[in-house]
Amino acid sequence: MCYKLIALLVSTVILVSSSQADQWPQWRGPHSNGVAEGTGYPTQWGPEKNISWKLKLSERGSSTPAVWNEHIFLTGARDNKNLVSCLDRQGKLLWEATIGKVRNVRHKKGSSCNPSPATDGKYVFVYFKSGDFGCLDFQGKVVWQKNLQNDFGQDTLWFDLGTSPVLTSKLVVVACIHSGPSYLAGFDKATGKLVWKQDRNLDAPEEAAQTYSSPVVVSEKGKETIFVLGADHVTAHDATSGKELWRVGNLNPESNRLFRSIASPVATSKMVIAPYARGKTLTAIQTGGSGNVTKSHVRWTKSGVSADVPTPIAHQGKVYVCTDRGNFICLDINTGEQLWSHQLQKGRGGFSASPILADGHFYLVREDGTTFVLENNGSGKLLATNKLDGFITASPVLADGQILLRTFEHLYCIGERTSP
């Protein structure tokens, strides 16, 4: 009886691990911290080496795919319409659907589909620059759709909307932080009904009032909290009601009017890490408290070790930052002490994609299609440098032994699946 119980527990652990390894459900992965599950990810590839398949895309895009077991979900555009595509793990197109019309792109690196899709295994949720926001099932049927800019007002962002939808246990949540009535809104996953809408109007000057970053959801002892970075503040919200729990300000003490935020926060149950000031500062905030906790909960602020666009990784007591110019830095999450750094080789373009940690390796993607693979060995030793053709702003996705890399023109699948 005892042996049967042990065997059952072991098999359960294996199934859970396999299931998590098969999934990249939303922006920044299964734990929203830039860490992938699973093993066996390739460290070397090239245009003719270790490429499982390559798919031509209709138009450029910066969103990352979402993966759930046998399904890959991708947003894009075609014929002036917002496009949602579903592929199988062999790169075969299963279905396509359209959600609203494309809104003109303003930035040379931007697209109409900067926000990444999110999935809970039953539905896939998509959001576009046009404000079109929708839910589809895994067969491609549109379950519900709406336009948030029609409902709540058009955004005033100077460039292209980049905030991705995030999931709680019951809701899909979207933030709109701009030079106007800003908000955080939670919608029922199955119906699209607005469950709550929380105003988030903070006194930030001009472009500093605008954010392209995505919220992050953390669950601790059954309670979910949503953290939002933007408009010179980090705010924490109750996931069931949207109510603000606490806030930290003073991220822009000199009131610089151009300090919009692009990189997203990364969080653990005890700490929120906020990259800000166009990559000039990195701030660590202890979670908890109520009201304005700026004076009591800021644990450290460091200059010169942050990023403007790439979002950091938080893992096992450390923060890993890839600056826009390719300096990869490891810091102690509790003290801010710099433990090591590695300056990557410079080339054409900087770094827009966010770094990923998987199976003891860091993956850092430069805009010119070069991916640097570093060892997580206490010093960030360079293991491999891999080059693909194409311009890359989308972050890599790692699931079940395979890497998905999106250029402006193609989606590459690198490596082979490790599960049967």
Query: Which tens digit of pLDDT belongs to each residue from 308-338?
Result: 999 999 999 999 999 999 999 999 999 999 9
Where b means 16+ CB within 10 Å and e means fewer, 20-56 reads bbbbbbbbbbbbbbbbbbbeebbbebeeeeebbebbe
Domain ranges in the chain with CATH number 2.40.128.630: 325-413
Q: Where are the alpha helices (DSSP H) in 169-252?
A: none
Least confident of 37-46, 98-107, 131-140, 240-249: 98-107
Domain ranges in the chain with CATH number 2.40.10.480: 57-162
Residue appearing with tokens 């392209």: 212
Is pLDDT at 243 greater than 50 in this prediction?
Answer: yes
Give the pLDDT score at 19.
Answer: 60
Is pLDDT at 121 greater than 60 in this prediction?
Answer: yes
pLDDT tens-digit readout, 9-62: 333 333 334 467 889 999 999 999 999 999 999 999 999 999 999 999 988 888
How is residue 322 written in tokens? Answer: 């890839």
Is pLDDT at 173 greater than 60 in this prediction?
Answer: yes
| CATH 2.40.128.630 applies to domain 325-413 | yes
Give the pLDDT score at 12.
Answer: 37
Give the pLDDT score at 249.
Answer: 96
Give the pLDDT score at 172.
Answer: 98
List the CATH code of the domain at 57-162: 2.40.10.480
Is pLDDT at 68 greater than 50 in this prediction?
Answer: yes
Give the pLDDT score at 267.
Answer: 96
How is residue 263 written in tokens? Answer: 């990189």
Read off the pTM.
0.93
pLDDT tens-digit readout, 278-316: 999 999 999 999 999 999 999 999 999 999 999 999 999
Is pLDDT at 77 greater than 80 in this prediction?
Answer: yes
pLDDT tens-digit readout, 145-166: 999 999 998 888 888 788 999 9
Give the pLDDT score at 4.
Answer: 40
Label residue 231 by pLDDT band (50, 70, 90).
Answer: very high
Is pLDDT at 88 greater than 90 in this prediction?
Answer: yes
CA angle 263, 54, 321 (to 5 degrees): 20
Partners of 224 in the β-ladder: 219
Give all strands of the β-sheet with 271-276 in edge-to-edge order: 266-267, 271-276, 281-286, 298-303
How far is it, in rounded angstroms, from Cα 103 to Cα 105?
A: 6
Q: How far is CA 209 from the centre of its chain?
A: 21
Label residue 420 by pLDDT band (50, 70, 90).
Answer: low
Label residue 221 by pLDDT band (50, 70, 90).
Answer: confident
